[in-house]
């Protein structure tokens, strides 16, 4: 069967848009466009668009990573982060063009530029060790032969999937006077500091940090405020909640915050809060609204962006924020008296937004199932006259036939309403039957959505139907739904995905029940492993960056020591028998389904020993299996990993299913 759907190789042709920033006057938007260059590596540059004419100009050039663009308050300059000097540093460039100039030269780089309202000062985030000084400059590193040294630590958290082994640095906030070049450190100690924000008069800075005696064992995050005239720092919250992304109201009397009270640990809904400076009172504006106030939708187009938090209306009486509900991420407004309205909605993922100084326009980035991998739109506050600004992948998509996901609702075994999506194979013909692949998302506290998924389109192009859904544990359906899986992995979630398969088989007569496949990554890899140990319904399976043994996961994962307790409500020390009961490895003797195991060598979230244990257990039993190890890659391979390895990964998945389901 020849089709003209999206192929594996088409990944190289995509452009990935993120971080749109509207100019103060609302006439221009700067955004990041990432592409895969001729060397099969990522390249990110800044692009400028005239919002009225929709004319786009490439603003920065070269094979670099230019990201995090931010306008000066007068609109004359754009500050951004670039690795063009070797390390990631802050640069700026005049809006009317010219050469970019380097602003910072910190030894370990800098990121997250935040400009003061008068444009004269800049706060940046800088990794510093206890021995570092601000004066130490970035140097071109010569490759020298270094003696082998052991890695030594006394920390509980000594590695992370994002950064590898800890280098004992912490993120600190540095204030830079742009007129004199003077640099001053706003934070101290062995703590990480995040999300700085200037007060409207430029005299105060708020930020979030966990500065407790034992940050490795406590998971709250407080809000602090530093007075730039006295250098005095005040703690504004009481160490019993997780708060982040503070934003000052235009009149300077309040802060908006995103956060939660950890009541359901990692499954607690993020909500919108305000802190009143006069009364020191915290109030939650979305406490009566059973919705996650964040974008938690999954896509594989690398279109995530740092959260803007809850952005104030210019009238000081409302906030704008993203929230995830029923498989969509939309832009909402909440007033100070808790009235919530949808500003920009639809069956899609809105993954970033920005507004101009007068809030006459919103620019936002959208991903939508079969039509928009990631593009920019503009609308007014009322959301009534949306215009599409970009169509960066149209040259590719208009030559392709895409499978359009249809969402459907069905009942779980206990009567709970569930949501799923089904995609027909490209080239579908009535009266013929086709194999079906069930995809299971990671998290588990995330959400499949109406966003674009290249991987799903690749499967459809290869002649597979694709089924995906949000089982218990997923976001989008309220607090009780997302919490239901805690303490019940392999229970209610397994029931939900199997009911989805049964529903699809009953309602779509084109599915061949003898040719079913299953795949998933991370938690979805755990579920894949669990499924093949408990049923022979599937004829082939692919497990990715998976968990097979919760006993060893506890000690080897960068989050294992707390994630295990949060999600399973026990630990290796308290109840090792329970962790073994819910470990797929325990059921390896039951596995008959041919299982492809994909894993990254540098995955510290679900370390590769999880794959090794399962592979050896299957291989020793002479069960059909294959083990693919991806070098120099971490847990994020499928979303932001090396492009060439992403291609190999997709080929491995489709070849495995072709061998057993065709």
pLDDT tier, 154 (very low <50, low <70, confident <90, very high otherwise): very high
What average pLDDT does range 517-523 have in this prediction? 98
CB 255 within 8 A of CB 277: yes
Which tokens hold the place of 154? 């006394």
Question: How far is it, in rounded angstroms, from Cα 215 to Cα 414?
Answer: 40
DSSP state of 316: S
SS3 of residue 259 by DSSP: strand
pLDDT value for 384: 67
pLDDT value for 141: 65
The pLDDT tens digits of the residues spanning 619-635 come to 999 999 999 999 999 99
Handedness of CA 184, 187, 191, 192 (dihedral sign): negative
Total residues found in the chain within this entry? 662
pLDDT value for 1: 45
Which tokens hold the place of 359? 């809030």
DSSP state of 549: -
Per DSSP, which regions of 110-179 are E strands? 111-115, 121-128, 159-160, 164-165, 170-177
% of the chain beyond a pLDDT of 70:
98
pLDDT at 662 over 70: yes
The pLDDT tens digits of the residues spanning 6-38 come to 999 999 999 999 999 999 999 999 999 999 999
More confident residue, 144 or 194: 194
pLDDT at 130 over 90: no
Question: How far is it, in rounded angstroms, from Cα 308 to Cα 326?
Answer: 22
**CATH class of the 289-400 domain in this structure:** mainly beta
Which DSSP helix (H) or strand (E) runs through 376? Answer: strand 372-379
Bridge partners, 466 (sequence order)? 423, 437
What average pLDDT does range 195-205 have in this prediction? 98
pLDDT value for 244: 96
pLDDT value for 429: 97
Question: How far is it, in rounded angstroms, from Cα 153 to Cα 534?
Answer: 40
pLDDT value for 133: 82
What average pLDDT does range 171-200 have in this prediction? 97
The pLDDT tens digits of the residues spanning 96-126 come to 878 899 999 999 999 999 999 999 999 999 9
CB 327 within 8 A of CB 304: no
Write out the catalytic residue numbers.
522, 635
Domain spans in the chain, listed from the N-terminal domain onward: 13-103, 289-400, 401-661
SS3 of residue 561 by DSSP: helix
Which tokens hold the place of 429? 């013909």
CB 253 within 8 A of CB 316: yes
Which residues have C-beta within 8 Å of that of residue 219, sequence separation ≥ 6?
210, 242, 262, 265, 562
pLDDT at 2 over 60: no
CB 211 within 8 A of CB 218: no
pLDDT at 575 over 50: yes
pLDDT at 291 over 90: yes
Question: How far is it, in rounded angstroms, from Cα 477 to Cα 325?
Answer: 6
**Secondary structure (DSSP) of 430-498:** TT--EEEEEEE-SSSS-B--SS--HHHHHHHHTT-EEEEE--TT-SSS-HHHHHTTTT-TTTHHHHHHH
Span of 60-74, 380-394, 442-456, 512-526 with lowest mean pLDDT: 380-394
**Secondary structure (DSSP) of 487-518:** T-TTTHHHHHHHHHHHHHHHH-TTEEEEEEEE
Which tokens hold the place of 346? 């639809």
**Rounded mean pLDDT of the chain?**
95
pLDDT value for 370: 87
pLDDT at 144 over 80: no
The pLDDT tens digits of the residues spanning 463-497 come to 999 999 999 999 999 999 999 999 999 999 999 99
pLDDT value for 139: 77
pLDDT at 178 over 90: yes
CATH of domain 401-661: 3.40.50.1820
The Cα-based distances of 68 to 16, 89, 90, 119, 601 in angstroms read: 14, 11, 9, 17, 29
pLDDT at 303 over 90: no
């Amino acid at each position: 069967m020849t089709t003209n759907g999206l192929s594996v190789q088409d990944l190289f042709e995509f452009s990935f848009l993120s971080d749109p920033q509207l100019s103060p006057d609302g006439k221009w938007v700067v955004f990041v466009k990432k592409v895969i260059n001729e060397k099969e590596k990522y390249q990110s540059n800044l692009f400028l668009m005239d919002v009225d004419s929709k004319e786009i100009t490439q603003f920065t050039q070269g094979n670099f990573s230019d990201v995090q663009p931010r306008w000066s308050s007068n609109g004359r300059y754009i500050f951004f982060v670039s690795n063009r000097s070797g390390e990631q540093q802050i640069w700026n460039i005049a809006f009317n063009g010219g050469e970019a100039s380097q602003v910072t030269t910190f030894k370990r780089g800098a990121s997250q530029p935040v400009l003061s309202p008068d444009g004269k000062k800049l706060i940046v985030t800088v990794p510093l060790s206890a021995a570092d000084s601000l004066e130490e400059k970035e140097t071109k590193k010569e490759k020298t032969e270094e003696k082998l040294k052991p890695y030594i630590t006394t920390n509980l958290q000594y590695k992370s999937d994002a950064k590898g082994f800890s280098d004992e640095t912490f993120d600190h906030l540095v204030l830079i006077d742009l007129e004199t070049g003077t640099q001053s450190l706003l934070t101290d100690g062995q703590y990480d500091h995040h999300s700085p924000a200037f007060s409207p008069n430029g005299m105060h800075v708020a930020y979030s940090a966990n500065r407790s005696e034992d940050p490795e064992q406590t998971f709250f995050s407080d809000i602090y405020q530093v007075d730039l005239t006295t250098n005095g720092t005040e703690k504004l919250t009481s160490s019993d909640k997780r708060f982040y992304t503070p934003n000052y109201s235009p009149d300077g009397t309040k802060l908006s915050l995103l956060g939660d009270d950890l009541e359901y640990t990692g499954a607690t809904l993020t909500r919108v809060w305000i802190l009143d400076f006069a009364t020191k009172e915290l109030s939650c504006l979305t406490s009566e609204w059973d919705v996650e106030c964040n974008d938690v939708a999954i896509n594989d187009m690398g279109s995530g962006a740092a959260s803007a938090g809850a952005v104030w209306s210019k009238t000081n009486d409302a906030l704008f924020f993203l929230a995830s509900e029923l498989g969509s991420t939309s832009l909402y407004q909440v007033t100070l008296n808790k009235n919530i309205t949808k500003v920009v909605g639809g069956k899609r993922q809105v993954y970033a937004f920005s507004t101009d100084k007068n809030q006459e326009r919103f620019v936002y980035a959208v991903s939508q199932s079969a039509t928009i991998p990631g593009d920019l739109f503009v609308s007014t506050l009322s959301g009534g006259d949306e215009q599409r600004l970009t169509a960066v992948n149209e040259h590719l998509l208009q030559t392709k036939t895409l499978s359009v996901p249809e969402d459907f609702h069905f009942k779980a075994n206990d009567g709970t309403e569930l949501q799923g999506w089904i995609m027909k194979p490209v080239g579908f013909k009535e009266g013929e039957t086709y194999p079906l692949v069930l995809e299971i998302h990671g998290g588990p506290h995330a959400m499949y959505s109406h966003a674009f998924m290249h991987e799903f389109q690749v499967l459809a192009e290869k002649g597979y139907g694709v089924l995906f859904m949000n089982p218990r544990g997923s976001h989008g359906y309220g607090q009780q739904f997302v919490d239901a899986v805690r303490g019940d992995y392999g229970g209610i979630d397994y029931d939900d995905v199997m009911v989805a398969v049964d529903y699809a088989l009953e309602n779509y007569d084109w599915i061949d029940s003898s040719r079913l496949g299953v795949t998933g990554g991370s938690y979805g890899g755990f579920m894949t492993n669990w499924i093949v140990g408990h049923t022979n319904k599937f004829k082939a399976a692919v497990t990715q960056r998976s968990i097979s043994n919760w006993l060893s996961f506890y000690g080897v994962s960068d989050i294992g020591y707390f994630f295990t307790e949060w999600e399973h409500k026990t630990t290796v020390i308290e109840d090792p028998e329970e962790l073994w009961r819910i470990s797929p490895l325990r059921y390896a003797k039951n596995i008959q389904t041919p299982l492809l195991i994909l894993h990254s060598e540098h995955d510290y979230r679900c370390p590769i020993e999880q794959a090794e244990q399962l592979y050896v257990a299957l291989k020793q039993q002479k069960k059909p299996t294959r083990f693919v190890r991806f070098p120099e890659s971490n847990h994020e391979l499928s979303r932001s990993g090396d492009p060439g390895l992403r291609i190999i990964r997709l080929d491995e998945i489709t070849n495995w299913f072709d061998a057993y389901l065709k």
